[in-house]
Amino acid sequence: MVQWQMDTGTVMHGVFGDPIKHSKSPIMHNRAFRVLGLNAAYAAFHILPGQLKDAVAGIRAMQFRGVNVTIPHKLEVMDYLDEIDEGAKAIGAVNTIVNEDGRLIGHNTDGIGYVRSLKEEAGFGVAGKKVLILGAGGAARGVSYALAKEGAAAVYIANRTVSKALELAEAVRPFTKSDGMGYESIQDVRDEVDLIVHNTSVGMHPNVDDVLIDTSWFHEGLTVSETVYNPLVTRLLREAEAKGAKTHGGLGMFIYQGAYAFEYWTGREAPVAAMREAVLEAF
């Protein structure tokens, strides 16, 4: 790897979120920049509610090349961008911003990153399968849309605020059968689903003992998938495994969504193996 230090030609990138201390994005992207010998850097920024508009203006003012957007800003950030690509528009959430000479363009790499990880790491083919999505925020939007586009037979969305689940189900319905519900209604569909995807921050570091739903009904033949990657194995996955279900952790989605973002910013193929290695070393 090339010896590198920041200078006046360094191209800046970052991630906006709240909380953000847990994020491994800086470690992952800075390793990728070093591996390819690029004069670029990536940092994490703790952007509180009410600060997002100013933070996005800062991307232009400070000429950052690109920024990732994470919880809870993926929906609101769309209000402050110049253009949103078709996929992100359909999803209704942005997790990647590219600065093209002061013009900020929003993309969503969550869904494509998730599906690639699900195929490669869990060997799960989505076509014809029924899916239960837990949560209805930015990550859930990307994942739901991508699974529907991959040919899922049905996408059920459960969320604490039922109106948000219904709204997301309506957005997914042009692509496949979809219904929204509260968590208490999961029992109505649980016997027909093949895949459960958890998309909230419940169980994420530091609250590693939390689990979102009752897992006593999990069974063999079910695949339980997580978008949380810190810790690598959440309580949800441990309980699923104990019930004989197949499990799929959130690390792959995190790495692939980052790889697609990296490619948008640099026009270079992301060094995925080095990115994964950097994140694993950081645990």
Binding positions for shikimate are 23-25, 70, 95, 110, 229, 257
CA-based nearest residue to 149, from 180, 118, 126: 126
Helices (H), the chain: 25-35, 52-61, 86-91, 110-122, 138-149, 162-172, 235-242, 251-266, 272-282
Question: Which residues are marked as active site?
Answer: 74
Question: How far apart (Å, rounded) are the C-alpha atoms in residues 91 and 85?
Answer: 10
CA-based nearest residue to 17, from 162, 204, 147, 197: 204
Question: How far apart (Å, rounded) are the C-alpha atoms in residues 125 and 275?
Answer: 25
Question: Within a 10 A sphere around the Cβ of 76, how many other Cβ atoms?
Answer: 16
H or E, element range at 181: strand 177-181
Supply 74's token pair: 């993926």
CA 95 to chain centre: 8
Question: How far apart (Å, rounded) are the C-alpha atoms in residues 115 and 257?
Answer: 10
The Cα-based distances of 160 to 122, 139, 151, 157, 194 in angstroms read 28, 15, 26, 10, 22
Q: List residues bridging with 131 in a β-sheet.
A: 155, 195
